[in-house]
Every structure is written in structure tokens, then in C-alpha cells.
Structure 1
Amino acid sequence: MNTELRAKPPLVIIAGPTASGKSAAAVALAHRLNGAVISADSMQVYRGMDIGSAKITEAERKNIPHYLIDCAEPDEEWNVVRFQKEAARTVREIAARGQLPILCGGTGFYIQALLYDIDFTETEEDAAYREELSAFAAKRGAEALHERLRAADPEAAESIHPHNIKRVIRALEFVRQSGGQRISEHNREQRLKKAAYRAVFFALTMNRATLYERIDRRVDRMFGQGLIGEVTRLRERGFTDRDVSMQGLGYKEVLRALDGQYSMEEAKERIRKETRHFSKRQLSWFRRERDVTWIDRDAFPDENAMLDRMEAQIREELCIFSQETQG
């Protein structure tokens, strides 16, 4: 291993679509490799938003330290820049303790931002243009604003959900402020940078029908665990669909059902459908990334065999030796 690479902190990344079993795999590998887990999930940062975000429970963490979970209120500003800063600091702290940092989640932009230390230096903010776009979205709807982005930057539109109004506005702002450069082009340029870490990057996958079945079961489980009550409590605290957190999958659909826009059964079906679409966007994002090892769960007889394969690659690439080898 060359000196430049050795100087970089180690980092294991476990990515993949929603419901693919990332969290359980991260916990198991953390036990095998003396690791700690950093969440790369844009919803699990919010306190009180546990069921709809499928937040890993204390029992499921199995005494493994987890970071960047429950670190913001639902109406608090949380974005990729804040994530990048907090995650980089956490990686350094975990590595300094002699543990292995394991980044786990499905928010591809967060993972990319940390891995390649993407430069988010802001160009001069155009408050008037931002207000104009916000007013347009309020009057015409999020989908109409998203169509403006699709016309300006089709690639960015594919990766940004129509209801993530802040990101849609930011992408349109970037085109205006940069003199016509698309934010997707900027992000692609940033991805060509060398990784800031000695990273082993896994993405979990499986047969699509199996994944969709897992998604449907997860949605049913969320409702069984009390998703309606969770959204009701958030609503009573004054949170609305104007808050970015409440635009998350599961939350906006139940919120609209509570407001009488459609039935709760229709809300459940919408969540299933939107989550399937989301999983396809996640897979498309990770397929564009470099140096990803795809782990097809269907190719292994059981979970342990899959974990053995991942552990072996981590030990080899990061030069981590077992006690038996060292002895």
C-alpha cells in the first residue's frame, strides 16, 4: 500500500436500495471487525421520526455505536453540507479510537459527498430568484417546479424527488448562478476526484420481485407499529408538509390522508408504490458510482455466507488481520 493511500482514514460503505438489509449487515460486520456505524440516511437524523424512516432500534443496534441518528428536530435545517461535515468528523473520531468506520445508508448523494469530499462552496445567493421559485411551487405545485428542473437539467431531475423542493430549487439556482452549467455536470466532475478515504464500497442487491416483497412487508410493518400515530403526534406538534422532514416517504402520504385528501388504505398503497420507485432511483444512482462491489443476496445460501464474503474483502483491502493470523 502506497504512503498516500495509507495516510487516508479507512471507511467501509454499505449502500443499496431501501429494505435490502443494509443496517443488519452493517451491525454484523461491526461486531466482526470492531466497527462503529455512521448513518447515511436523510430521514433517520430526525428525532421523533422513527417508524416511517425505518430507524434502527436500540435492540437492533446490538450494542454497536451508531452516529448521525436523532441529531436534528423535524423543523431543523439538515442538508448534505451539514451531513458531510458531521460525517467526516465522526469518521476521524472512530478511526482515532482504533475502530473501523462503517457508513451505512441509501442516500447516495450523502455517501458521494463524504467519499469524494465534494466541494459545496456556495456561489452568491440570489434571494429574489429563490423566493420566485418558492412562490411558483406554492402556486403551481412541486411537480410543476420539478418540470422546470427537468427542462434545465434532466439528469438532476431523475435523481431529485419532485417533493424535495429545496433540492429542486438549489439545482435550478445552480444553473442560473453558474451561467448555465448543470448541477449534474458539477457533481459528475466532483465524482472524478480521488476518494478521500481508503474505502471498500458495497452495494446490496437482490431479485427485484423479492425486493418489492420486502418493501411491501416493511410498509405493512410500519402501519402495524403505529405510523399513523407517529404522524399524528408530529402534526399536533405543528409540523406540516412545508417542513422538508414531513415530505419524506410515508410521512407526506399519511399526512395527506389525515387531512382527508384520500383514504388511509390509499395512503398505504401510495407508500408502497413510491418506495418501489425510490428503490429504482437508488439502484440507478449506485450503478453510476465508481469502485462499487455489488453483493447479490440471491447468490449466497444464507446471511452468514454473504457476510463472510464481505468481511474477507474488507480485511484484504484494508489490511486488517484477525487475531489468529497475527498470532
Structure 2
Amino acid sequence: MKKKVIVLLGPTATGKSDLGIELAQLLDGEIISGDSVLVYQGLNIGSAKPAREEMAGIQHHMIDILTAKESFDVLTFKKKVEELIVSINAKGKMPILVGGTGLYLKAVLEDYSFLNVQENVQLRKELEEFASQYGNKALHLRLAELDKAMAEKLHYNDCFRVIRAIEIALAGENKEQASSTGQIRPDYQAWVYGLNMERSKLYARINLRVDKMLEAGLIAEVKNLLADGVSSQSQALQAIGYKQVVEYLQGEVDYDTCEYNIKQATRRFAKRQITWFKKMSYIKWLEVTEKTKMEDVAKFIAQEVGSYEEV
């Protein structure tokens, strides 16, 4: 029997989380977060993590499963989500995968096979010490010598991914993704919906969301993480919003520049998300406007999918 899953994706700030909750209420579902930042405890404001009251009693998975000092990758995500889909199906409920991290979602839906380059703890320690002594740019130059194409994709301050890229390059491989069919895996019955919004309206929503995050205490949240011993070079604090606030707290930029940088980085991220999703030909796109009511969208999807017992 095929594993059943509904997937709600699209660029940031389009209303996926609200839609997921509405749909879960209609279809007796449980939500699986497909966001690579929501996994971290303490990263609440900048990740737009739903508060418990916003979850409306719906079971949410893949949220707050790691401390901000830990690392996370697509292989771990893929394994955990596949297990959750099986267990939720076994309970007679509908798993609803909600998120915007394109590679993570494609990895699950298309059953990517990956090159298995194991973590080299000693090498990572040496590279972290090198960056601490000589700076992030010097570390980035080491990657450029090994894999110029990958170095061009990564910012020198994204130390976690720069170190991982060096690790892979030294293992003799230049990429983690090995193969993908470009189609939904045959053992899944998946309904994949994408939320789309006119670009200027999307960017306006992003800017407003950043304003609200800063008003809600994003800077204080980052201060607390740093005070708790989370490294400014940790994977968690490379996330959009957190990285720019760290730069502000370290005196690299002023407040206005920090705010601008967060908005710009988020808009660019949304654009990259759209590019990723264009590769997924099986997505059914739904247009969202300011007047769109998510409960109506949820009813439309529920009618298409039918109740769990009927599919």
C-alpha cells in the first residue's frame, strides 16, 4: 500500500502554516515541518515558529528537536520524515508536510540518493580553529582551491557549510546530491500543492514580517542564544535573520543596515525557493491574494484529496 502524504510548499510568507492547520483540522491530520530552522530550540521569532496556541491542538513534528548548538542536514531530515509519514499513516491519520526548504522536500518526495560522506570530527575541529585564527575569508579561500564552483555559491561567513563543503571535497566528492528522478517516488501517494503570490505583494509581506519580528524581540532572542553559549558560527545562527542580527551585535553594521539586510536576504531566499520549486513539475499551484481565506483553500484541497478513509 502506498504511503499517503499531503505537501504544502511555496516561498516564505505565503501562509503555508495557517493552511496546514486548517487542512489538518479537516482531514484529521498531523503536521510535519519541512523547515530547516524550526528544528532548533530557541530560534522562535526569527523562524516564525508557530506558538502552541497557534497550533490549535494539532500535533506538530520536526519542531524544537535540536539545541541551537547542534547541526542538522538533509540526510537526517529525510530519514526522520520518512519514519513520521509511516507512523502517522499507521494511526489512520494524514501526514501534512509543510515547508519551504526546497532540497529537503525534494529529498523526501523524490527519494534522493545521497553520497555518504561521513562527518570528520577532527577535520571540522581543525577547520574551525583555522577560521578562528585566520578568519572566515581565509577558510573560504581553502574551499575555493578545492571546489571553486561550490565556493562561489557560499558566502565566506557561512562557516558551517563552507566546512562541510571542504569535508566533501577532501573526500573526493564535489556534491552531496547524487541522483533524483524528478518524479514523486512510486511508493508514495502524494498530493503536492504550492502557494504562489504576486511578487511585489510577496515582498511587501516579507518586509512587514521582518518589521514584526524585530518589534517582537528578535535581537533579544539572538542575545540570549549567544549568552547561552551558542557560537556565532553555529549552523543555527547562519539562518536568515539570525546571521544579520549577529553582525549587528558584533558591531559590523548599524541597526538600519541590519534591518535592511534581513529584508533583502529574505526576499532573495523567497526568490531561490521559487526557483527550486519550478523544478518540481508535479506541484499544483494555488494563487494567493490578500483576500484569500485559508479555510477556503483548505476545503478545496480536502475535496480533491478526499478523507483519509476514502483515498
Aligned equivalent of 1:115: 109
Q: TM-score, normalised on structure 1?
A: 0.82
What SS does structure 2 have at the residue aligned with 1:243?
A: coil
Mapped contact 1:12–1:201 kept (Cα < 8 A): yes
Question: Are residue 284 (structure 1) and residue 260 (structure 2) matched?
Answer: no
Q: 1:183 aligns with which of 168, 172, 175?
A: 175
Which moves more between the two structures, 108-117 or 45-54? Answer: 108-117
Bigger relative contact order, structure 1 or 2 (CA pairs below 8 A, ≥6 apart): 2
For 1:149 and 1:19, how far apart are their aligned partners in 2? 38
Q: Deviations over 1:272-306 (max 9, x none)?
A: 01000000001101111231111111498543443
Contact 1:149/1:172, CA 8 A, preserved across alignment:
no
| Alpha carbons of structure 1 residues 143 and 270: separation in structure 2 relative to 1, 3 Å | farther
- The answer to whether structure 1 residue 210 and structure 2 residue 179 are counterparts is no
Which one has a larger percent helix, Structure 1 or Structure 2? 1
Of 133, 141, 158 in structure 1, the residue corresponding to residue 136 of structure 2 is 141
Is residue 308 of structure 1 aligned with residue 299 of structure 2?
A: yes
Change in Cα spacing, 1:162 to 1:192, as seen in structure 2 (3 Å) is: farther
Unaligned runs of 5+ residues in structure 2 are none
Partner of 2:262: 271
| Contact 1:142–1:165 under 8 Å retained in 2 | no
Aligned residues: 308
> Does structure 2 conserve the Cα–Cα contact (< 8 Å) formed by 1:84 and 1:114?
yes
Structure 1 residue identity aligned to 2:264: K
- Contact (CA 8 Å) 1:297, 1:306: kept in 2 or not? no
Q: Which runs of 5+ in 1 are unaligned?
A: 1-6, 322-327
SS in 2 for 1:229: helix
Identity score, percent: 32
Aligned to 2:11: 17
Q: CA deviation at 1:162?
A: 6.0
| Aligned residue in 2 for 1:237 | 228
- Distance in 2, Cα, partners of 1:21 & 1:220: 17
Contact 2:10 2:16 in 1 (8 A): yes
Report the CA distance between 1:58 and its aligned residue: 1.0
Distance in 2 between residues matched to 1:108 and 1:102, nearest whole Å: 16
Q: Which amino acid aligns with 1:223?
A: L
1:160-199 to 2 correspondence within 5 Å?
Answer: 163-171=157-165, 173-174=167-168, 177-178=171-172, 182-183=174-175, 186-187=177-178, 189-192=179-182, 195=185, 196-199=187-190
Of residues 293, 298, 320 in structure 1, which corresponds to 2:310?
Answer: 320
Identify the range of structure 1 (259-268 vs 43-52) with the bigger mean alpha-carbon deviation.
259-268
CA distance in 1, matches of 2:205, 2:299: 23
Amino acid at match of 1:190: S
Change (3 A) 1:96 1:244: same
Q: 1:87 offset after TM fit, Å?
A: 1.1
Q: Deviations over 1:259-283 (max 9, x none)?
A: 2112122211110010000000011
